[in-house]
Structure 1
Amino acid sequence: MNQPVSYKRHRFPPQIIAHAVWLYFRFPVSLRLVEEMLLERGVLVSYETVRQWALKFGPDYARRLRRKNPSRHDVWHLDEVVVTIPGQKHWLWRAVDQDGYVLDEIVQTRRNTRAAKRLLRRLLKKQGVAPKRIITDKLPSYGAARRQVMPRVEHGSHKGLNNRAENSHVPLRKREQVMQGFRSSGGLPRFVCVFSAVRNLFVPPRSRRSALALHLHRLTAMVEWKSAVNLTA
């Protein structure tokens, strides 16, 4: 069981710290915009302080957010996207389920079978159960990795089938643009770990797209968020 988040020795109250971190990871805004948004509410804090809060509390918050229960009926959509940091190509490998829920992400310098195997093994360890089917693009590495790691799992590879995973890159691309790129290979996985956990909580599954269902989902998500960040109100 995770211990409650501690805000000891911080001058600002927990409500402000948690709100600043939520703004930064939930919306496509820069640190300076978060600083301005807090100023509008009468809170004078520098963007560098917001950065330190995000680094310190973001991973803590993400660990406390409830993960979706895995199922043998899940369909995993796998895809990889190139991220340049700085001047060197890295590949962000991502897996989402049939609802677009991010299951796992891993940053690697290779786009080959070894890298695909590492993603599949991490997924199996984290999920604890193999899926009904995996969907990928036409990259041969996925097929080779699947045959070695989960040979009994059905595999579909077609560009049009993999929209779930491809669409999951869009929010990160928007953040990358706002942040003017990622500064280090270590900073990218730290950021996406929190970014995806917050997004998983607040973005409703595809089955809850009506106005009422969306409203209820967001209210529930906010209650869970306040519990995770140790706010009672």
Structure 2
Amino acid sequence: MNDAPISYKRHRFPAEIIAHAVWLYYRFPLSLRLVEEMLLERGIVVSYETIRRWGKKFGPEYVRRLRSKRPSPNDVWHLDEVLITIAGKKHWLWRAVDQDGYVLDEIVQNRRNTKAAKRLLTRLLKKQGLAPKRIITDKLRSYGAAKRQVMPDVEHRAHKGLNNRAENSHVPLRKRERTRQGFRSPGSLQRFVSIFSAFRNLFVPVRSKRSAFQIHIHRLNAMAEWKAVTRALA
């Protein structure tokens, strides 16, 4: 995690309020107007447009400072793509999650073919630094063709029934898509998911941590990291 504090200079509101507003918007299925209303209930008068600008400016800064999960040669990558319609045009959000449901990467593309699958695998390999034990996909042939070009020695299982982990990872985004009433551009979708998924990676426990006590401890640790990441310059 990068220890350099974030500068909130020339902002009228203190760091705690800005960070709290960004956290509310990306962590929960709330519209900007609902976040505005929740802050108003606490006596904080700020417009939803200001909250949107805070998210756009500080969201990526927060994400850059959050710790990433260490890659392992025993990881299993689950890959899937989901259709997102933007301004009447079809786009595909390609996503990779690991065996614990941790989102590894996402990329918005306007094609659902081998070139698009290859771009996802290439980005993943560069970002993770090492290949996984295996990849699991649905029966889209583009994955197999791309895998043979990028990581030919990695085991590949193509079976729709084995890929529920990747398919289930789309559900939270679908809820946010409805809350936002869609996305305005591929760029806005890419920016949103990069922040949204990083927040979920931090606050949502991995599948192995399911007892009430483990979830409680996980959330306490997540909040401690969040406060450390969003602190202001002294």
TM-score, normalised to structure 2, is 0.98
In 2, Cα distance between the equivalents of 1:107 and 1:169? 13
- Name the residue aligned to 2:160: 159
SS in 2 for 1:148: helix
- Name the residue aligned to 1:204: 205
- Name the residue aligned to 2:29: 28
- Name the residue aligned to 1:81: 82
In 2, Cα distance between the equivalents of 1:180 and 1:35? 17
- Name the residue aligned to 2:179: 178
- Name the residue aligned to 2:94: 93
Q: 1:200 Cα deviation (Å)?
A: 0.2
- Name the residue aligned to 2:104: 103
SS in 2 for 1:186: helix
* Per-residue deviation, residues 140-167 of structure 1 (Å, max 9, x unmatched): 0000000111000000011110011000
In 1, Cα distance between the equivalents of 2:6 and 2:90? 36
In 2, Cα distance between the equivalents of 1:131 and 1:227? 31
SS in 2 for 1:81: strand
In 2, Cα distance between the equivalents of 1:171 and 1:120? 23
In 2, Cα distance between the equivalents of 1:65 and 1:231? 15
In 2, Cα distance between the equivalents of 1:67 and 1:227? 15
Q: What residue identity is the alignment partner of 1:48?
A: E
- Residue 60 (1) aligns with residue 61 (2): yes
TM-score, normalised to structure 1, is 0.98
In 2, Cα distance between the equivalents of 1:146 and 1:41? 52
* Per-residue deviation, residues 14-49 of structure 1 (Å, max 9, x unmatched): 000000000000000000000011011111111011
Q: 1:230 Cα deviation (Å)?
A: 1.5
Q: What residue identity is the alignment partner of 1:214?
A: I
In 2, Cα distance between the equivalents of 1:175 and 1:113? 28
- Name the residue aligned to 1:118: 119
CA contact (8 A) 2:8 2:232 kept: no
- Name the residue aligned to 2:19: 18
Q: 1:231 Cα deviation (Å)?
A: 5.6
Q: 1:2 Cα deviation (Å)?
A: 6.1
In the alignment, structure 2 segments of 5+ residues that lack a partner are none
Q: What residue identity is the alignment partner of 1:132?
A: K
Q: 1:138 Cα deviation (Å)?
A: 0.4
Q: How many residues align?
A: 232
Q: What residue identity is the alignment partner of 1:144?
A: A
Q: 1:3 Cα deviation (Å)?
A: 3.2
Moved beyond 6 Å, runs of 4+: none
SS in 1 for 2:107: strand
In 2, Cα distance between the equivalents of 1:139 and 1:231? 47
